[in-house]
Amino acid sequence: MNHRDSSLGSLNRRRGLRITIIAAIVAAGLMLWLGLRNPAARAHDFFRATFFPIGGPALSLLETPLKRLGVIGAGVYEIQPGVSLFLDPNDFIGNFVLHAGDWERLEWDLIAPRLPAAGVFVDVGAHVGTYSLKAAKAVGEQGRVIAIEPNPVTAAHLRQGIAASGRNNVTVVEAAAGDRRSRLKLFAAADANTGMASFATGNARRSGTYQERSVEVDVIPLDQMLPALTLPRLDVLKVDAEGAETMILRGAASSIARFHPVIVVETIDAQLRELHSSVQELEDLLRSYGYTKASATTDNALWIPAAVPTR
């Protein structure tokens, strides 16, 4: 090797070292910034969520050993003190929570003031527990949360979050709510958005690249499910079931008349129509129960019993 080649090699090594140092500083700065956005999450949590879905060939080489070390991949994360969830950074909700530290904050801000200590929260369509576990913390040990989730895989992840959170006041019902007792096919959504599982294939297909998968699940009306749980009260009923909301509320008429809960319900017309309903039908049903729409976000609405003082 001549002197010129040696000099070029030395220059390239110095350039490579500088690039490596700069990349490390940028990565550390990004991880710190993300950590400040969500202080409850650890730095490696954000590493898992941020870099590996978009990491490229260099990071892909590290994927297997880092998975063995438990540094990347789906798992249980503490998103705030006392609230841990099973989150997958490659799943839409998991990735969102890992980055933002929360899910549907506007909706939660409607619910939280209406959950007293020792209160009761029923979560229809609990998914991994983004609402259920915050509610369990809010109502305390004397309160109760009923987390209803029909998808067996998702229900298992929900239980992992409950165990990691140390909550003894959450009851998981691995079934679907509806307007009559039956068994129906639940169509699993794409892995990239598991929260889109639905009784309608059209809704499940909206979740992304889709390969049809289904599982038969028990369907139990809330009016049959809740009495067996011997609830002393019901403060908030949240219903998010990818188009099945109208049939769920039909099957809850007696429970609603007895407890007069505040109701937070998803109202996406396209999803409701896949199951032969509509936002108009859903709203007419709630008005027939004596409810008034008090507030709304993009996809959800808060309904208050007109005859009962606002909690």
- For the chain, what are the domain ranges? 3-67, 104-305
Q: How many other β-carbons are positioned within 10 Å of the β-carbon of residue 279? A: 19
d(CA 180, CA 182): 6
The two structure tokens encoding residue 166: 């140390």
**How do residues 97-126 score in pLDDT, each as one tens digit?**
887 788 888 999 999 999 999 999 999 999
pLDDT of amino acid 11: 61
* Mean pLDDT for the stretch of residues 33-49: 46
| Residue 109: partners with Cβ closer than 8 Å, 6 or more residues away | none
The two structure tokens encoding residue 66: 């880092």
Q: How does the average pLDDT of the chain come out, rounded? A: 84
Return the minimum-mean-pLDDT range out of 67-71, 135-139, 143-147, 255-259. 67-71
pLDDT of amino acid 75: 85
Q: Is the dihedral of CA 269, 275, 276, 280 positive or negative?
A: negative
What is the residue whose two structure tokens read 């140092």? 21
The answer, yes or no, to whether residue 61 has pLDDT greater than 80, is no
**Confidence tier at 92 by pLDDT (50, 70, 90):** confident
Report DSSP state, residue 188.
Answer: P
What's the CATH fold of domain 104-305?
A: Rossmann fold (3.40.50)
**Residue 92, Ramachandran bin (φ over 0: left; ψ between -120 and 50: alpha; else beta):** alpha
The angle at the Cα of 243, spanning 228 to 209, to the nearest 5 degrees, equals 120
Q: Are 282 and 246 in contact (CB under 8 A)?
A: yes
Q: How many other β-carbons are positioned within 10 Å of the β-carbon of residue 310? A: 10
pTM equals: 0.79
Return the minimum-mean-pLDDT range out of 3-12, 196-205, 218-227. 3-12
The answer, yes or no, to whether residue 71 has pLDDT greater than 70, is no
* Mean pLDDT for the stretch of residues 192-212: 79
**Confidence tier at 40 by pLDDT (50, 70, 90):** very low
Q: Is the dihedral of CA 101, 105, 109, 110 positive or negative?
A: negative
**How do residues 227-255 score in pLDDT, each as one tens digit?**
999 999 999 999 999 999 999 999 999 99
pLDDT of amino acid 310: 47
Strand 170-173 to strand 291-296: parallel, antiparallel, or no bridges (unpaired)? unpaired
**Confidence tier at 41 by pLDDT (50, 70, 90):** very low
pLDDT of amino acid 99: 77
DSSP-based three-state secondary structure for 88: coil
d(CA 132, CA 127): 9
Q: Are 134 and 123 in contact (CB under 8 A)?
A: no
Q: Are 291 and 302 in contact (CB under 8 A)?
A: no
Per-residue burial over 138-150, b = 16 or more CB atoms within 10 Å of its CB, e = otherwise? bbeeebbbbbbbb
Q: Are 220 and 148 in contact (CB under 8 A)?
A: no
What is the residue whose two structure tokens read 């799943």? 91
Strand 300-305 to strand 262-266: parallel, antiparallel, or no bridges (unpaired)? antiparallel
pLDDT of amino acid 43: 40
Q: Where are the beta strands (DSSP E) in the chain?
A: 75-80, 83-87, 120-124, 144-148, 170-173, 182-187, 214-219, 236-239, 262-266, 291-296, 300-305
pLDDT of amino acid 311: 46
d(CA 192, CA 207): 7
pLDDT of amino acid 180: 96
**Confidence tier at 82 by pLDDT (50, 70, 90):** very high
DSSP string, 222-265: HHHHHHHTT-S---EEEE--TT-HHHHHHTTHHHHHHH--EEEE
Report DSSP state, residue 176.
Answer: B
**How do residues 267-282 score in pLDDT, each as one tens digit?**
999 999 999 999 999 9
